[in-house]
Structure 1
Amino acid sequence: MNRQFANRREAGRELARAVASLGIEDPIIFALPRGGVPLGYEVARALDAPLDILLVRKIGAPGHEEYGIGALVDGASPQVVINENIARMVGATSQYIEGEVQRQLAEVERRRAAYGSGLSHSPRGRNVILVDDGIATGGTVRAALKALRKSEASRIVLAVPVAPKSALQELEKLSDDIVCLSTPDPFYAVGAHYSDFDQTSDAEVVSLLADARTWSEANER
């Protein structure tokens, strides 16, 4: 199944309709910044649910940062997940990995300061929907799912517009449900399935989170 999405917001609206059909009670939406936030916003708005973020950073291969060998996620239950087989294959030494972990932790702190958010809602005992704009190798999402499970979320649903079947099979044991709109074969890159895949800016993330807080606070009154 191969789909083409106009942009992240359109993909988010389609994803919201699919997630709504699960009938999840009182969910919290956690989006992976930056690209997952426009989709998470649409899902949260459709479900009238709070929106938060998980600060996750990819750990890239030496000389090829976009090729993930693992990821780290910051929050109540920090996780560092490394695919040891891939790391060995690309020549990533333990020293290289530690250096990348420290570099990405610094970026997490920068984003925390910029967004003023990050696990302000506790997932413990709650139904959680984790949203991203797509999955390639799955390293980033795997780290996020492990952190949510460690945080004792009641139910974890992974929701993405596009991913390879092989990655979803790897993630099934870490989530209770998976919603994916498109599983192209062969799979090349997430961006290939969007007409507009421009980078999401920090300013857009801040704006969407602020807007989401407005309806969330109104619901709590």
Structure 2
Amino acid sequence: MSSIPLGARGALLRRLSHRPPVCSSSSSPPSSSPVTRRSVSIAALFLSTFPSRAASAGSPFDKYVKRKKLEPLETYVPAVLLTQDQFKDLEKYLEMEQPKYDISRSLLRSGPAASLRVNIRAVAQYADDDGKGKLASNAVDQCLRALEDLDSLFLHASRNDPTASVESMKSKINIALGALDSLLETVPSELLDKGRAIAEAYRSPIDQNNESKSEDPDPELKQLEALL
């Protein structure tokens, strides 16, 4: 008999009895790859939900997943340009006598602005590949901080907080617009021109439609609602 004490032998037998059974030949073998399609999907979902935190981790796997999700650069540029137009429309809307701040706040999450975080981070990734990562990263951070501050101002104004002034809101919009201009400076000129042409083609039907409704007393508000 073994020299293992009786109590220790019982504990060892209990551990062995709880080991998972060995797969038989009829069962499906485990995947030989440590990275399954499901794990890639989960990682991609994590990146889309917490992109700034994933980027700061600097994991090669995180970077691989993010790159796999990127479309060509010219896909993102028109959307950023249209978001700038959306913010300019919002600035004009704030000049109305009684703007609705709940609608203004919704605009930051609607239309082209709804995908702004994804779009500007994609442009910044291409800028980083082109050696302009610091400029692009600073522009992205500045834009997102301004929009967070703007969202907070809208929330306070909707609750009749007198400290949330229209001037402070317009200031945050201008900071965001300037940051987007800085980010777009990292885009090669030929791709930026192409993006502007695409954005203009997208805007034209909207502009013509607005002209045909010139009798509307509040065309700026109608344009805002169309984007929501």
Q: Please say whether Structure 1 and Structure 2 have the same fold, judged by a TM-score greater than 0.5.
A: no
User: Which structure features the higher share of strand residues?
Assistant: 1
Larger Rg: 2
State the TM-score, normalized to the length of structure 1: 0.21
Larger relative contact order (Cα-Cα within 8 Å, sequence gap ≥ 6): 1
